[in-house]
Chains A and B, each alone.
Chain A
Amino acid sequence: MKRYGEHRFPGKLFVVEGIDGSGKSTQLLLLHQWLQAEGYGVVFSEWNSSPLVRDTTKRGKKKQMLTPATFSLIHATDFADRMEHNILPLLKAGAVVLCDRYIYTAFARDVVRGMGAQWVRELYSFAVKPTGAFYFRVPLGVAMKRILDGRSGVIKFYEAGMDLGLSDDAEESFRVFQGRILDEYEKRVPEFDLATVDATLPIEEQQAQMRQIVKAKLAQAKRLRVAP
């Protein structure tokens, strides 16, 4: 079993991190379009999307039976499945892999839920180190406004951190929970050398910064011929 560190595969791995409403998914989508147009073979992998684990996570959330421990472990299982069957083989094949959220999400979120920081790090030690990791820094108020304006439905139970009993009001719980995650993220930035992007800047400006960094890291990467 390999432990967290630089991979030596021909592919490249870029990941985005940030609290809900930071705009990271939008930025990753724009990066994806650009890399494809540039002729790279690009594959996207999203947090919490393994088909193998999906039903279990769904059941746990629906019945509100997830504890901080099982919440952490089921997400690690999901990540492991994507790592073993998606991310690693693709990196070996020379693809550019884009991940919406990576292990740093767990490092922030699971720790806020009360799991030990070292325990979570060791749990995810099978992950490869990304070629580039971006952190979209946004003030809590801005992110909250984006989230609450943009959605008609209610905030989900676990999304709002309602399992922590922070508040009976979903919106208030969400605010406190996201605030704590934000604090955790900020601590992880220097530790894991995350490239910080000011997520209050215009979208195009953030994207230009991102592309510049990615471009430098792709200097020697070969472009895969991908069928249109």
Chain B
Amino acid sequence: MRETYGAILPGMNLAEMTGKLIVIEGTDGVGRSTQIKLLRPWLEQQGRAVLDTAIKRSELAGKGIQQAKEGHTLGRVTLSLFYATDFADRLEHEIIPALRAGFVVLTDRYIYSLMARAIVRGADATWVRNAYSFALKPDAIFYLRIGVDDLIPRVVFSRGFDFWESGMDIHPSEDMYDSFRKYQTELLGEFDNLAKEFNFEVIDATPDLRTVFEGLRAGIARVLSGEPREPLFSVTPPAPAEVPEAASTKVVEMPATGKPAASAEDETQPVAQALAKAAEGDASR
């Protein structure tokens, strides 16, 4: 029987959702949608019916959010709630019916991105968790993890900096690069917090597309076969704020899963930056 994170919506029947709910999480530009484009045909070749869904795709609120984001008067609480509306609509009208019909639901982001964005924008932690407490607990959450230094070139050389992905609404700056770095560092730090709380399976997103795909494929195959989870990659525990500079040269020990280790830089630097950020940000929240 499925569970939610707390609230149960009227008419939500948690029994008979035989499909699998698989979440791909990760920050802007990390390659989630590219991976989903590869995963879908792979699953379909095995005879699995797939529904893929993503933020802002709801029939109800997708267009409204797009329009609201084009203006300059969208408040932080309003933005959060607009996204929650979009999410609820997709949950009730797409995800749940698909799970009932036995589909594999691949969702490009879930509530965690929305929570991270809201928290970075100063939302109250209890408030955010409550707002999304009606969400179904997924069968697996794969988090494509990347450090800000590896992220930046990907974004620059693909789509360029976007106003919202650069957090220009909270770090107004003449320089989108500075703003992007600052905002994404905060966001990645928040993702690391959520990774622990919600038990993400972390996949290193720094290697090439193929390697990341293979990692995801192995994880999803395991979920579909009903095998228990084996940690792929452990999230760095909240190191003390005074992470020494030297840490960036230390090789991170990997759990014995035979996966290649991320570069040490990728592993430690964003966490250290995020912690520093969190320390200075806490007072203002």
Q: Quick check: B85 and A70 within 8 Å, CB to CB?
A: yes
Closest chain A residue to B60 by CB distance?
Answer: A60
Decide: A84 near B67, CB < 8 A? Known: A1-B122, A67-B88, A114-B10: no
Partner of B126, one of A52, A60, A122: A122
Is A128 interfacial (CB-CB < 8 Å)?
A: no
**Interface residue tally on B, bucketed by range:** 35 or more
What 9 pairs across the A-B complex have the smallest Cβ distances?
A114-B10, A84-B75, A56-B64, A77-B81, A122-B130, A73-B85, A80-B78, A80-B77, A1-B124
Which residues of chain B have C-beta atoms less than 8 A from A81's C-beta? 74-75, 78
Q: Quick check: A70 and B60 within 8 Å, CB to CB?
A: yes
Is B71 interfacial (CB-CB < 8 Å)?
A: yes
Is A170 interfacial (CB-CB < 8 Å)?
A: no
Q: Quick check: B134 and A69 within 8 Å, CB to CB?
A: yes
Q: Quick check: A68 and B75 within 8 Å, CB to CB?
A: no
Q: Quick check: B130 and A70 within 8 Å, CB to CB?
A: no
Closest chain A residue to B65 by CB distance?
Answer: A56
Cα distance A60–B6 in the bound complex, in angstroms? 26
Is A137 interfacial (CB-CB < 8 Å)?
A: no
Q: Quick check: B9 and A55 within 8 Å, CB to CB?
A: no
21 CB-based A-B contacts, threshold 8 Å: A1-B285, A52-B78, A59-B60, A65-B89, A68-B9, A69-B134, A70-B88, A70-B92, A74-B61, A74-B85, A81-B75, A83-B75, A83-B77, A84-B75, A114-B10, A114-B11, A119-B134, A122-B126, A122-B127, A123-B127, A126-B124
Cα distance A128–B251 in the bound complex, in angstroms? 50
Residue-wise, chain B 3-19 has the 8 Å CB interface mask toward A (1 for contact) of 00011111100000000
Partner of A3, one of B64, B80, B93, B124: B124
Is B44 interfacial (CB-CB < 8 Å)?
A: no
Q: Quick check: B64 and A53 within 8 Å, CB to CB?
A: yes
Is B221 interfacial (CB-CB < 8 Å)?
A: no
Which residues of chain A have C-beta atoms less than 8 A from B126's C-beta? 122
Q: Quick check: B10 and A85 within 8 Å, CB to CB?
A: no
Q: Quick check: B82 and A77 within 8 Å, CB to CB?
A: yes
Is B59 interfacial (CB-CB < 8 Å)?
A: yes
Closest chain B residue to A82 by CB distance?
Answer: B78
Q: Quick check: A85 and B73 within 8 Å, CB to CB?
A: yes
Which residues of chain B have C-beta atoms less than 8 A from A80's C-beta? 75, 77-78, 80-81
Q: Quick check: A56 and B74 within 8 Å, CB to CB?
A: no
User: In the assembled complex, how far is the CB of residue B214 from the closest CB belonging to chain A, in whole angstroms?
Assistant: 38
Q: Quick check: B63 and A56 within 8 Å, CB to CB?
A: yes
Partner of B10, one of A68, A74, A126: A68
User: In the assembled complex, how far is the CB of residue B164 from the closest CB belonging to chain A, in whole angstroms?
Assistant: 15
Q: Quick check: B133 and A67 within 8 Å, CB to CB?
A: no
Is B38 interfacial (CB-CB < 8 Å)?
A: no
Is A125 interfacial (CB-CB < 8 Å)?
A: yes
User: In the assembled complex, how far is the CB of residue B10 from the closest CB belonging to chain A, in whole angstroms?
Assistant: 3
Decide: A1 near B123, CB < 8 A? Known: A73-B85, A84-B76: yes
Cα distance A74–B126 in the bound complex, in angstroms? 20
User: In the assembled complex, how far is the CB of residue B58 from the closest CB belonging to chain A, in whole angstroms?
Assistant: 9
Which residues of chain B have C-beta atoms less than 8 A from A59's C-beta? 60, 63-64
Is A116 interfacial (CB-CB < 8 Å)?
A: yes
Q: Quick check: A119 and B133 within 8 Å, CB to CB?
A: yes
Which residues of chain B have C-beta atoms less than 8 A from A55's C-beta? 63-64, 67
Q: Quick check: B7 and A116 within 8 Å, CB to CB?
A: yes
Residue-wise, chain B 127-165 has the 8 Å CB interface mask toward A (1 for contact) of 100110110000000000000000000000000000000
Is A115 interfacial (CB-CB < 8 Å)?
A: yes
Q: Quick check: A56 and B85 within 8 Å, CB to CB?
A: yes
Which residues of chain A have C-beta atoms less than 8 A from B85's C-beta? 56, 70, 73-74, 77
Which residues of chain B have C-beta atoms less than 8 A from A197's C-beta? none
Cα distance A77–B87 in the bound complex, in angstroms? 13
Q: Quick check: A56 and B10 within 8 Å, CB to CB?
A: no
Cα distance A125–B93 in the bound complex, in angstroms? 27
Cα distance A67–B78 in the bound complex, in angstroms? 19
Is B101 interfacial (CB-CB < 8 Å)?
A: no
Closest chain B residue to A65 by CB distance?
Answer: B60
Is A32 interfacial (CB-CB < 8 Å)?
A: no
For window 64-121 of chain B, which residues contact chain A by CB distance below 8 Å? 64, 67-68, 71, 73-78, 80-82, 84-85, 88-89, 92-93
Which residues of chain A have C-beta atoms less than 8 A from B127's C-beta? 1, 3, 122-123, 125-126
Which residues of chain A have C-beta atoms less than 8 A from B84's C-beta? 73, 77
